[in-house]
A and B are shown apart, each in its own frame.
Chain A
Amino acid sequence: MSSDSLPISEKRLLKKYTIKGVIIIFFFLGVTFLYEILSINYIEDNWERISTNEKQYLIHDIQSRFKDYQNETLNILERIADSPELKSILLKNPDSSFVEIFELLLKRKHNDVSVELFDRHKSLLGWAGNRGKIIDTSEIKSWESSFLLKGQIYSYLIVSIPIFNNQNIIGFLIGKRLFEVNYPISNRFIDNEAFASTFKASSDGLNLFKFFVNDTPRLNMDELAIPLMSIDNQEIGTGYIPLVTSVSYSSKLLENINKYKVILVLLIYLFFVWQVIASVKVLKSPFIKLFSWTILIWFFRYLLIWLNVPSIFLQIEIYEPKYFASPFGFGIVKSLGDLFLSSLFLIANIAVIVNILIQNIDTLPKLFDTRLLRNKIVSVVLVAILVLLIFLFIRGLAATIRSAVFDSTLIYSEAISIIPSVEVSIMLLSLLMIAIAIIATIIGLIFTIHHIIQSASGIVLNEYFAWWVGAVIIIVGGIFFGILQQNPLITQINRTLYLIVLLTVTFWIAGRYKNNLTIFDHKFIIAIIIVAIIFVVPLLQSYIQEKNKVNIELLAEEIIRPEDSWLSFLLNKSLDELTSDEVVLILQANEGRDYSTLAFTQWAKSVLSKEGNNCAITYLDNSGSVLSDFRIGLPKKRIENINDQQVPRERFIHQDEINQNAMSVKWYTGYAPIITSSENVIGGVYIELTGGKQSIFRAETPTLLRNYTDDESLQEINSIIYSEYVQGKLMSTTSDAIPLNITIPDPMLNLLAKKKGYWVDEVIENKNYSSYYFRDPKYDDANICYALRLEGVDLKWQLFYSLRFILLYATLFLILFATIILYKSIRKKTTYISFRTRLLFAFVILSFVPIILLGYYNRQYAEARIRDNIAKTLSDKTSVVLAEMQHRFNVNTPVVLSNLSDEQCIEMAGDLNTDFHIYSDSYLQATSNPEMFTAELLNPWLDAEAVLNIFLKQKGYYTEKQSIGHFAYIVGYRPIRAENNSIIGVVAVPSLFQESEIITELTNRNIFLFGAYSFVLIFSFILAVILANQISAPIKRLKKATQLIAAGKLDINDQSDRHDELGDLEKAFYKMTTELKAVQDQIIKAQREAAWKEMAKQVAHEIKNPLTPIKLSIQHLRQAYEDGIEDFRAVLHRVSSAVLEQIDTLSRIASEFSNFARMPDRKLELLDIHTNIQDTISLFSQHKNISFETALNSSAALLIADKEELQRAFINIIRNAIQAMNESGTIGISTILDGRFIKITITDTGSGISEEIKSRIFEPNFSTKTDGMGLGLSIVKKTIDDISGTISIESTAGKGTSVIIRLQLSDIQTSLKS
């Protein structure tokens, strides 16, 4: 069969469109290339003009955005200023209405804009939101105005409006909106975008926008200066954006052109594929089809990689290697996104293979029935290869899952959220798809092995015998494979279990579908998905645990690595960064500038912050006074003012060693001068840096001060407990859960002396830990050793992680299933959903929805309870802090309060293990976390709500929720009262550092709740399945019984075992069928009897006819003999001829009856009807007076029938036609293809048939001829009926007769046509 079977017109059209399409696309490609070349030249020649246009556009864009930014703020203020309540307060005596003022401002406050209210004399009346830096009231004008207030870290847009009453100013309202964040640390808590987030001003995309107020000079001459105009049209600042260079402009243009080129190339490929698919479709061999499709699919995949699609269009993080990267497959899995895409292609490939195999399921078994495969040696070799392939595929799947863990930085075991992150979900889905593909392949291989064994055995086996033989070979082979492997990725037991599962599923598929996979349905797919989940989830868990151990061992190496070189490098690098040109400019700027945050900001931008070492930075001016300092994790200041001394001119570094917990810790001190370009020393910076093992854990660095990426990996590190031992005794540990009195037993110490490190599972204070003990190889014995501990992952946790993954898979497939149903209903295609499935859905929804709702509300309630507990704890803590403060410092007057220092607070906080802040009046006096205020993460002004409730409403305790960026926490406030009971200050205790406890508590609850509810859900689902099956079973039985009855089978057994309405219905139905069967039997018996009677009558009649002349002839002969007639010989001859003739007639009658009665064995085969007709015609070639006119369709017409039986039918019809034409004439035979049918018309020019005869012509024993039994056409009709065809007669008396046969073509013919 070739593509010639396609209608020629269609083929030509296809080729024409393809060629046209390809030519057009090539033309466009050429145009694109030309455009690229011309563009580059154009840009080079006209760069000045282009650059000017770009600048103008940028200036206009940013200025208008800035104007909008101001106007939005202005509108918010105007809404507040127009409030009649505010005006009436301002008109009355506002000094006695502070409560109303605060309440009003708090009620109307906006999230982005904090407000301050001043009276007409510009005295502050109240505020709401972040007060921050104090505004210079001389900047407040009597008209609407704005200006920029620049801070070290946060800069604000200030908009002020006067509040009028009848054209008199009664007050001023100031709105403060964040304009720029110069926050050097980027993490998940704090957004670093303010005004700059409203646009993407530069093609570079980095360091988009810096602004400076008034006279501060530009840093970089490659920047565009954009004046920023206020509401009242004054220049209030300048924004700087990196200039677009011709290189970056050209590269951006080339990037866009490249995208078009990629699209055009893909279009060419699609045309090519269109042609190939059309050709492949008509091919006969399934293997060539399979091969071609596979090549097409993977060629397309590699084309996408070569063209860098889709990352060229979508700049998304999953196409970067940071989440996952593997070099396997020449780049098809070089990122998480590529892995996902490749797994989709793999699924598509497998789907195509399965589809082709199913289409050819009838012919496939013949492939195994060959001489080659019947050869036992060849079969054994093939089976061995296929069995090995199975193991290699399993190993490949395990290697893929292992790579998903070890070649990725994804955190699979994050427990705070029930649903995994997007990246983890994508990875899990990819792994599932790969597993599905591999398992489908393995099942195919198992089927193949089964068929080979069957063929090779050469006998008709018991149905299960070949399966059992294959199963034993595979399992035993698996055991040997495991033994022979050097580094098995799966344990022996797991491999055997997986093989058993695979074999069971394959067996189930074979048993259910009995090798007829044309009826495979969703159950087949669900079975494979379940098996895939069984593979993926446990393997993933085991590799995650393995990786945790590897990470701990890595951490151990990091801890014992000699750090001198690194600390020295770090210190030198930090000194370079902290004395950069930027610092020189800052110090050279105005006198009186606030440098308080200088040390923090420079630390945050430097490598010190990135590496997280404990350190202290101190900036000095040229006279040796401390300008700014910042410290993380170092206990006390070592660098004080060196007054009256010039700072040194030379850089130096020196190293000390201090004792800390009986361990010596390196302490590096470095100094570098800050020198201007004219070689003047204007200051200096000291850096103190420690090593120490604990710095790796960065315990002293608050969460909010950690960088984003460190934060993610540190989530895991922070769950590890680090302990130090000297001579087996625990000297220090990072967790309070480990008591200090534990020791390492001597046998373990001896083991440690010999080995670098080893793992131990231990129980400490009733908690399970996996501990890694190791020593520093610099020391020969185990005098000093360390331990890294992870809390053991018990069954509860393992179950939680597994159920999380399964829940994700279940959710995804539910969504897919719902999408398919929705799609079909939109397309108005009827979807058959069985009664059992509907019942199951109903039960599932009825049970799941309440459980899920209950679970959700339970979780919310649990969260609220935790927060309530924390609020109560805060209340207790504030009381304790207040009491201790009074006890230590006797704070009962404002003077005493004003003398409190940060150091006193730090010491007290250390003793109480509680951080707190003290406010004097409404401003920060002292705190135990000065770095949080230095970093401007916390506001030194007391929050407006606290002012209102504590100072104004005089509450004894107040708590509120606050946030820093996305970091939410609770703060408790208590008033500090003087001796006369007046409130002189406030103590505030934040839950800032208890968030981790909240998260831990929530996580534990999540695990418990999730685990418990998952069990309930699973149990409910199983129960729903059982109930649905039980209720729907009688319906299914009735349905099946009805189908059997429709097929004519009435001998159905009563299978009802129910005692309810459905059981009664079943019983009545079966009774009905029994009665029907009895009646049917009676009818059949009567019909048979009648038929036999008729037959017997006919036989008797037919036999009698020739017997009469035989009798007469014998009588005549006897008489002639007795009469002694002379010509007796002639009489004898005559009589004997007559008798013999009658005997022949009797014989013919007997044969015809025999043919009618006999049911010959049919041999159904695929045949071409045209060939059959041609062969039949050739049988009549000896009829010289009979000619045939044929008009047969040029295409083959394939159908399944018995070739000889069909030929006999045609012979019969043609013979009748010849007889009707009196052995002379033309017989016309034509065929027409009509969809799935073929219409064959045999026409003669005989005498025709009357209507009366026509109606009976197919009855048995009906004949218009004198001889014959009248059985020919009834046999023809039976033949046609048996192959689901129809036969009819059209005839006109005197003109001729047409016999019209309509036969159904086979599916192969139908698919060829389509």
Chain B
Amino acid sequence: MIRLFTMLLLALFFGMTLLLFSQEEDALISKKKSETDQAIKYKTTMINDVTNGILINDMRMFSKYFAKQVYVSLNRDESSVYSSNQTLYILQNYFSSRRIVNFEFSKINISELTSYAIGEGTVKFRGIQESINIYLTISKKDGNYVITQIKVY
């Protein structure tokens, strides 16, 4: 019995360590290799995911597109360069107190070098309806397209 528990414990330690190791890898952005001719399609999908994520208040829908470091600027809040992990939590916090009434990206510019999207919408913040603008910058890094700036006004 003791030997069985010894083995079990060792296996548990090993498993937890592997989990730690894999989580560390999971914390990095998953790099999808996209071919040049599918870049536009990929970016469009990205912007759709951002739109849907904002509408249903689920930032994890598009957190996989964050760059390792993202410049985040939020209205009535702070602006700084955050890691992809921090960006997820910061956006979650920000939008948890702001219920999205409507939102869409009205201007989308997709090009090889830099793409951007400008969105407009309405949120309800502490019972008061306010307009919201989101400016998104998408850049190419290490062969992948990632979100490098999120500015919310």
Contacts and interface: CB of A to CB of B under 8 A. Distances in A.
Nearest to A288: B5
Given A554-B81, A565-B116, A407 B86 contact: yes
A322 B85 CA distance: 10
Interface in A559-617: 561-562, 565-566, 569, 573, 607, 610-611
Interface stretch (B10-18, B30-38, B40-48, B49-57): B10-18
B1 A285 contact: yes
Contacts of A396: 17, 20-21, 24
B73 A325 contact: no
Given A407-B83, A554-B81, A607-B153, A372 B17 contact: no
A557 B139 contact: yes
B148 A408 contact: no
A248 interface: yes
Interface in B54-78: 68-69, 71, 73, 76, 78
A408 B86 contact: yes
B60 to A, nearest CB: 10
A213 to B, nearest CB: 25
Nearest to A441: B13
B23 A610 contact: no
Contact of A557 (B26, B85, B148): B148
Contacts of A565: 109, 116, 118
Given A222-B128, A562-B114, A291 B3 contact: no
B86 A328 contact: no
A569 B118 CA distance: 8
Interface stretch (A29-37, A387-395, A1215-1223): A387-395
B90 interface: yes
Interface in B103-153: 109, 113-114, 116, 118, 126-128, 133, 135, 137, 139, 148, 153
Contacts of B8: 291
Nearest to B118: A569
Interface in A339-378: 367, 370, 372
B14 A566 contact: no
Interface residues of A, number: 60
Nearest to B19: A329
B81 A409 contact: yes
B2 to A, nearest CB: 6
A396 B23 CA distance: 10
B27 A403 contact: yes
Nearest to B90: A321
B126 A321 contact: no
Nearest to B139: A557
B116 A554 contact: no
A327 B80 contact: no
Nearest to B153: A607
B130 to A, nearest CB: 12
B90 A322 contact: yes
Contacts of A145: none
A327 B88 contact: yes
Given A287-B5, A321-B89, A322-B86, A392 B79 contact: no
Contact of B13 (A325, A389, A562): A389
B10 A385 contact: yes
Contacts of A287: 2, 5-6, 9
Given A285-B1, A777-B113, A328 B13 contact: no
A392 B21 contact: yes
Contacts of A324: 86
Given A370-B3, A573-B133, A777-B113, A335 B127 contact: no
Contacts of B14: 385, 389
A788 interface: no
A290 B9 contact: yes
A606 to B, nearest CB: 9
B150 to A, nearest CB: 13
B127 A327 contact: no
Contacts of B153: 573, 607
Interface residues of B, number: 49
A689 to B, nearest CB: 15
A320 interface: yes
B95 interface: no
A334 B87 CA distance: 11
Interface in A245-304: 245, 247-248, 285, 287-288, 290-291
A147 to B, nearest CB: 32
A210 B20 CA distance: 51
Q: Count chain B CB atoms within 10 A of each CB in A325, A569, A710 and give the residue with the most.
A: A325
B118 to A, nearest CB: 6
Nearest to B12: A291
A287 B9 CA distance: 8
A1089 interface: no
Contacts of A389: 13-14, 17
Contacts of A326: 27, 85
A135 interface: no
Nearest to A331: B89
A328 B24 contact: yes
A610 B79 contact: yes
Contacts of B82: 322, 409
Given A324-B86, A335-B89, A561-B114, A393 B148 contact: no
Contacts of A248: 126-127
B85 A325 contact: yes
A325 B2 contact: no
A308 B80 CA distance: 26
A291 B13 CA distance: 11
Contacts of A327: 23, 26-27, 85, 88
A551 interface: yes
B127 A322 contact: no
A744 to B, nearest CB: 24
Contact of B127 (A245, A285, A367, A403): A245
A287 B10 CA distance: 11
Given A247-B127, A409-B80, A561 B139 contact: yes
Contact of A562 (B9, B71, B113, B118): B113
A761 interface: no
Contact of B20 (A206, A320, A328, A406): A328
Interface string A394-428: 01100100010011110000000000000000000
Nearest to B4: A287
Contact of B80 (A335, A382, A709): A709
A550 interface: yes
Contacts of B3: 367, 370, 372
A573 B151 CA distance: 12
Nearest to B111: A562
A399 B28 CA distance: 12
Contacts of B24: 328, 396, 399, 403
A321 B96 CA distance: 13
A329 B83 CA distance: 17
A204 B135 CA distance: 27
Contacts of A562: 113-114
Nearest to B27: A327
A713 interface: yes
Contacts of B114: 561-562
Contacts of A329: 23
A1205 to B, nearest CB: 30
Nearest to A396: B20
A290 B2 CA distance: 12
14 contacts: A222-B128, A290-B9, A291-B8, A321-B86, A325-B89, A328-B24, A335-B89, A367-B2, A367-B6, A386-B10, A399-B24, A558-B71, A566-B116, A566-B137
Interface of B: 1-3, 5-6, 8-10, 13-14, 17-18, 20-21, 23-24, 26-27, 68-69, 71, 73, 76, 78-83, 85-86, 88-90, 93, 109, 113-114, 116, 118, 126-128, 133, 135, 137, 139, 148, 153
Q: Give the 8 A-B residue pairs with the shortest CB-CB distance, closest first.
A: A321-B89, A709-B78, A287-B5, A325-B89, A325-B86, A407-B83, A392-B17, A399-B24
Given A287-B5, A389-B14, 5 more contacts: A290-B9, A322-B82, A393-B17, A558-B71, A566-B116
